[in-house]
């Protein structure tokens, strides 16, 4: 009866299930564990009660053997032959305990919550693809050995999977990159290429289950962020690391004023009183050019425009002077004029505050505007990484070339915009060799045979292609 009032039953009703189906698929699996436990406890009690009755001489009569009556008879010889009473006593104990434990075991097997892993330990990483990740890790290390600036965040062989039913979606399949101090690294790729999951994996924000980080290392100073304690992770999130996500309306809490939300971010990381934090929040809103900053502190997210909401998110991200800013398509939900303002703002703040930025986008125009280096992702892996200017001028991977050809250029109105034929491969059925081979005009048989490694190309560039368009600066044709 109590289960019937739970949300999942309401959800099933809303989904239009019939009563019989709700009972069979929602209710019964959830009451089954209770029934099993009740049964095993009752059987245990029954054994104890029969033994008790027989002990008093009210149960089974000799010559019928019974543990309780044996115990009763043995009582008279307790000092001359103690085993006569001790052994039946131990037997009763063992019998009742084993029936209870067996009930527990059967319950654990049947409990839908245990089966789904929802009650399991929410560990940041499980060593499943450890070996695979190690292989990619070494490949990545050689590829990016020459780093001039100090590396603040070193990501090696990062792999994240989603298990939905029997399917395994390799959303991120071994990503390597290093964020250097004060640079802006652009992460580009088509929708679904794993950019957001990469960003969320860095700070352990992937929903678990169904998501799991199955391998890799995210080194910040001498810590592996995938291994640090939850308390430390909370310190880093919003403090050292800040995130701006794509859709500000779903990032902000609808029931709190934006002022309260900024104040909360500040007070979570700095020992400030409410008044001081409030003043600081107003300053932050002014910094991001929020018109009428003081009055807007009391506004709810729905009372603001899209551009204003994103400004609030950027203000929140800047609240604790982050060292690393992760911006996941922060301007995609905005119109072009506001997008241009936001980019200018981000770029200026980056210069002023000396922050390192990981900028996720699918727009090469944005990359050329603010990124120092760019990494191109395809089907969960980085296929090309290098200085933004060089990659934009002379892309080495056929996929990068195609992506750049899709961008319209002002003044080239007669150029035909090339669309890339086909679709990216589904990440639960990745092909054996290069994931792009199916859509690639240069693909040969070798491309489909074996995994292609990210190989250095000189000038700090690396490409995951057997037949790159550029090799060490010389055009191959
Ligand atoms: P994008 O590059 O557009 O940001 P994402 O990183 O969001 O792409 O997604 C990469 C892949 O991971 C997609 O195939 C997506 O379907 C899958 N994915 C992301 N989140 C989940 C989730 N919570 N459950 C199942 N699959 C997911
Ligand atoms: Mg995304």
Distance 460 CA to ligand 2 centre (A): 26
pTM tops 0.75, yes or no? no
Q: Tell the residue nearest (CA) to atom 14 of ligand 1.
A: 192
Q: Tell the residue nearest (CA) to atom 12 of ligand 1.
A: 171
Distance 197 CA to ligand 1 centre (A): 6
Sign of CA dihedral 233, 238, 244, 249: positive
Q: Which residues line ligand 1 (CB under 6 A)?
A: 162, 164, 169, 171, 189, 191-197, 207, 210-211, 427
Atom of ligand 1 nearest to the CA of 210: 24
Distance 191 CA to ligand 2 centre (A): 7
Atom of ligand 1 nearest to the CA of 207: 23
**What are the residues whose beta carbon lies below 5 Å from ligand 2 (ion)?**
196
Distance 384 CA to ligand 1 centre (A): 20
Q: Tell the residue nearest (CA) to atom 15 of ligand 1.
A: 192
Beta-carbon contacts of residue 378 (< 8 Å; ≥ 6 apart)? 189, 190, 193, 399, 424, 435, 436
Helix (H) / strand (E) element for 224: namely: strand 223-224
Read out DSSP for 322-390?
-SEEEEESTTTTS-HHHHHHHHHHHHHHHHHHT-EEEEEES-HHHHHHH-SEEEEEETTEEEEEEEHHH
Distance 193 CA to ligand 1 centre (A): 8
Distance 192 CA to ligand 2 centre (A): 7
CA pair distance 169, 147, nearest whole angstrom: 33
For every one of its 477 residues, what pLDDT tens digit does the chain have, with 9 covering 90 and above? 888 888 899 999 988 999 999 999 989 988 888 899 999 999 999 999 998 998 888 887 878 888 888 888 888 888 888 888 889 899 999 999 999 999 988 888 887 666 655 554 444 444 444 444 444 444 444 444 444 568 889 999 999 999 988 888 888 988 999 999 889 999 998 888 899 999 999 988 888 878 889 988 999 988 898 888 888 888 899 888 999 988 888 889 999 999 999 999 999 999 999 999 999 999 999 988 888 999 999 999 999 988 889 889 989 998 988 899 999 988 877 778 878 887 887 888 788 888 899 999 888 888 888 899 999 999 899 999 999 998 988 889 999 988 888 777 777 777 677 778 888 888 888 888 888 888 888 888 888 888 888 888 888 899 998 888 876 544 443
């Amino acid at each position: 009866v109590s289960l019937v009032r739970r949300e999942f039953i309401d959800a099933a009703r809303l989904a239009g299930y019939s009563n019989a189906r709700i009972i069979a698929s929602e209710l019964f699996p959830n009451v089954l564990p209770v029934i099993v436990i009740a049964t095993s406890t009752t059987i245990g009690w029954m054994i104890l009660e029969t033994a008790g009755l027989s002990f008093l001489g009210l149960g089974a009569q000799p010559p019928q053997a019974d543990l309780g009556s044996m115990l009763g008879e043995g009582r008279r010889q307790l000092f001359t032959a103690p085993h006569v009473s001790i052994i039946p006593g131990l037997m009763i104990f063992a019998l009742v305990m084993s029936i209870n434990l067996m009930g527990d075991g059967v319950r654990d097997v049947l409990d839908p919550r245990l089966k789904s892993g929802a009650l399991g330990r929410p560990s940041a990483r499980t060593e499943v693809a450890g070996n695979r990740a190690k292989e990619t890790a070494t490949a990545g290390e050689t590829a990016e050995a020459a780093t001039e600036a100090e590396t603040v965040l070193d990501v090696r062989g990062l792999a994240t999977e989603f298990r939905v039913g029997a399917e395994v979606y390799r959303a991120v399949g071994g990503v390597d990159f290093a964020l250097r101090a004060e640079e802006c690294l652009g992460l580009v790729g088509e929708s679904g290429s794993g950019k957001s999951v990469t960003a969320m994996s860095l700070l352990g924000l992937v929903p678990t289950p169904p998501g799991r980080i199955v391998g890799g290392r995210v080194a910040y100073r001498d810590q592996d962020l995938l291994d640090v304690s939850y308390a430390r992770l909370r310190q880093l999130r919003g403090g050292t690391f800040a995130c701006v996500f794509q859709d500000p309306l779903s990032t902000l809490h609808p029931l709190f004023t934006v002022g309260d939300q900024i104040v909360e971010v500040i007070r979570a990381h700095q020992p400030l009183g409410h008044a001081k934090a409030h003043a600081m929040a107003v300053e932050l809103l002014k910094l991001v050019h929020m018109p009428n900053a003081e009055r807007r502190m009391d506004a709810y997210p729905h009372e603001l425009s899209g551009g204003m909401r994103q400004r609030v998110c950027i203000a929140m991200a800047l609240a604790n002077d982050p060292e690393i800013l992760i911006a996941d398509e922060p301007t995609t939900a905005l119109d072009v004029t506001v997008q241009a303002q936001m980019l200018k703002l981000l770029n200026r703040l980056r210069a002023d505050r000396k922050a390192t930025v990981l900028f996720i986008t699918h727009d090469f125009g944005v990359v050329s505007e603010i990124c120092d280096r760019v990494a191109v992702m395809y089907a969960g892996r980085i296929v090309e990484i290098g200085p933004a200017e060089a990659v934009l001028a002379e892309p080495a991977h056929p996929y990068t070339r195609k992506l750049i050809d899709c961008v319209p250029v002002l003044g080239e109105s007669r150029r035909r915009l090339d669309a890339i034929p086909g679709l990216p491969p589904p990440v639960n059925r990745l092909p054996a060799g290069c994931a792009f081979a199916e859509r690639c005009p240069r693909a040969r048989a070798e491309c489909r045979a074996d995994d292609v490694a990210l190989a250095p190309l000189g000038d700090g560039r690396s490409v995951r292609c057997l037949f790159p368009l550029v090799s060490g600066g010389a055009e191959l044709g």
